């Protein structure tokens, strides 16, 4: 008796089978989460607080492992890892726990005479099951901070960490499974295929942090199910530098906001500077001096400078820097070490407007300086481009500050500093136009993952016969008076005088 031998499958059939399995797994995953959400446990205040406390404990218990994972993925300095990722996440949890009881309360609202007697309120309720797709540049913070908002609002959630930060992704899977309620909070690792399978499912909201190209894919997938999205994208964040300022403080803040934010690999990092032709040499000299203080004479050897995430991004940045019309514009830095995936802090002066470096988001350690005749001309340059996620201004001029706030449209503005606004959780953090849609942080995270449900309460007292057929001119006059809200007109209609 011979056994039946199946013919070998083609690579296409094997890939199709794997994809079918991924889709099936994704569908089963969502089904399980909906079942957990339908029990109502995620709606309870106690459950929400317990999960948020677990995130704090997760971060406290495994601080060293988190820092090591970030070092493996990005060579991120311990200082940056703690300040920009761990401490911000813990602060978000702590503040949410402190305020959550108040956030969950219904908001009483006024009613009109049209529905008298009645009362009304707005009740925040969870959306349901949330998908969070996070970024690689701050892979710990940008994975769990949205989950904080989803949990606070009472949702179940899936986290898909970035495959470009594999050490952090693997650690998140392990820690979330150990510390959190896995019936309602899950982590899915993987790359394009797994993300595609997840996007084919119906979610109650999708949040994505990353670039506009993928953001468009997310929106297209969400549109098939009419799923709302929260997109944190980015863009070319400008910095306007006026004269007559404390230049040392300004340059140090620009440096830490650019190169001290993951070596420029941050959505809110300065993408280019605008200053006057007259002031540019002074600014450049100050930047050079402070950069040497921060990163030494050989910044490629500095332990305080993150590396480029991978060889593809290193090549992309090299292409921006090596373009013929750009390479001669370097006034500081420009050093590269492909073996270490490191590029030194680089300043360029007056690169052409049509160069690649001015056409796309840099997301790296290159910083062009554009010069204008007068600082007010900066607004026209910024407004001629897509709206950025953040825009910065350094000045002591009150009128210039006012015009900046009034004239420049961006996700957020910051005057006399860089990037620090994201640490203020009372401010919404989000983009506008191509830099994103929706906002989160603090109460804004709770609102982002909640539905504000309007509820009107009426009694059987005070029923108005004028609402019901058969209709008459007298009833119409009374209803017009009621809808006007005028007590005089209502009185006249009731007396038959209208």
Given 80, 232, 290, 361, the catalytic residue: 232
DSSP state of 158: E
Q: How far is CA 206 from CA 85, 228, 366, 470, in A?
A: 22, 7, 32, 49
Longest dimension (CA), the chain: 104
Given 267, 290, 361, 434, the catalytic residue: 267
The answer to whether 267 is a known catalytic residue is yes
* Percent helix / strand / coil, the chain, rounded to 5: 50, 15, 35
Count of helices and strands (H, E) across the chain: 18, 20
Q: How far is CA 177 from CA 53, 412, 416, in A?
A: 15, 35, 42
Length of the chain: 498
Distance of CA 215 to the CA centre of its chain: 12
Residue 35, Ramachandran bin (φ over 0: left; ψ between -120 and 50: alpha; else beta): alpha
Measured between alpha carbons, how far is 400 from 394 in angstroms, rounded to an integer? 10
The answer to whether 232 is a known catalytic residue is yes
Structure tokens at 466: 């004028």
- Decide if 143 contacts 132 (C-beta within 8 A): yes
| Residues designated as active site | 232, 267
């Amino acid at each position: 008796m011979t056994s039946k031998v199946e013919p070998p499958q083609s690579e296409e059939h094997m890939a199709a089978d794997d994809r079918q399995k991924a889709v099936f797994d994704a569908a089963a995953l969502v089904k399980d989460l909906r079942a957990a959400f339908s029990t109502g446990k995620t709606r309870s205040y106690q459950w929400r607080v317990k999960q948020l406390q677990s995130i704090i404990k997760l971060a406290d218990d495994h601080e060293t492992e988190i820092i090591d994972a970030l070092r493996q993925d990005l060579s991120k300095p311990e200082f940056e890892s703690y300040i920009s990722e761990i401490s911000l996440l813990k602060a978000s949890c702590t503040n949410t726990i402190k305020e959550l009881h108040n956030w969950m309360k219904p908001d009483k609202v006024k009613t009109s005479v049209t529905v008298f007697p009645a009362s009304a309120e707005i009740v925040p309720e969870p959306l349901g099951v949330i998908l969070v797709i996070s970024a690689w540049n701050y892979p710990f913070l940008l994975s769990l901070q949205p989950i904080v908002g989803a949990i606070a609002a009472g949702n179940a959630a899936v986290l898909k960490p970035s495959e470009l930060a594999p050490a952090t992704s693997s650690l998140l899977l392990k820690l979330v499974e150990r510390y959190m309620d896995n019936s309602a909070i899950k982590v899915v690792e993987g790359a394009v295929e797994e993300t595609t399978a997840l996007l084919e499912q119906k979610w109650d909201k999708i949040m994505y942090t990353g670039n506009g190209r993928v953001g468009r894919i997310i929106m297209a997938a969400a549109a098939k199910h009419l799923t709302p999205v929260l997109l944190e994208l980015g863009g070319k964040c400008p910095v306007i530098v006026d004269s007559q300022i404390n230049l040392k403080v300004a340059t140090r803040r620009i440096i830490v906001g650019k190169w001290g934010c993951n070596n420029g690999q941050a959505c809110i990092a300065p993408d280019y500077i605008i200053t006057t032709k007259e002031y540019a040499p002074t600014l450049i000299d100050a930047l050079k001096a402070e950069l040497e203080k921060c990163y030494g004479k050989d910044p490629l050897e500095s332990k305080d400078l993150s590396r480029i995430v991978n060889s593809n991004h290193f090549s992309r940045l090299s292409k921006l820097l090596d373009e013929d019309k750009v390479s001669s514009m370097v006034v500081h830095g420009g050093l590269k070490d492909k073996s270490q995936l490191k590029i030194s802090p680089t300043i360029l002066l007056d690169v052409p407007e049509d160069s690649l470096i001015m056409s796309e988001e840099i997301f790296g350690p290159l910083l062009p300086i554009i010069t204008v005749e007068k600082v007010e001309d900066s607004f026209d340059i910024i407004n001629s481009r897509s709206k950025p996620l953040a825009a910065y201004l350094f000045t002591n001029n009150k009128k210039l500050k006012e015009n900046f706030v009034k004239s420049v449209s961006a996700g957020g503005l910051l005057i006399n500093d860089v990037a620090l606004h994201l640490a203020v959780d009372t401010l919404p953090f989000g983009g506008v136009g191509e830099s994103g849609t929706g906002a989160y942080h603090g109460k804004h995270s709770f609102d982002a993952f909640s539905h504000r449900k309007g509820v009107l309460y009426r009694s059987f007292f005070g029923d108005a016969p004028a609402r019901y057929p058969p209709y008459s001119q007298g009833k119409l006059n009374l209803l017009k008076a009621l809808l006007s809200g005028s007590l005089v007109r209502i009185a006249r209609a009731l007396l038959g005088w209208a």
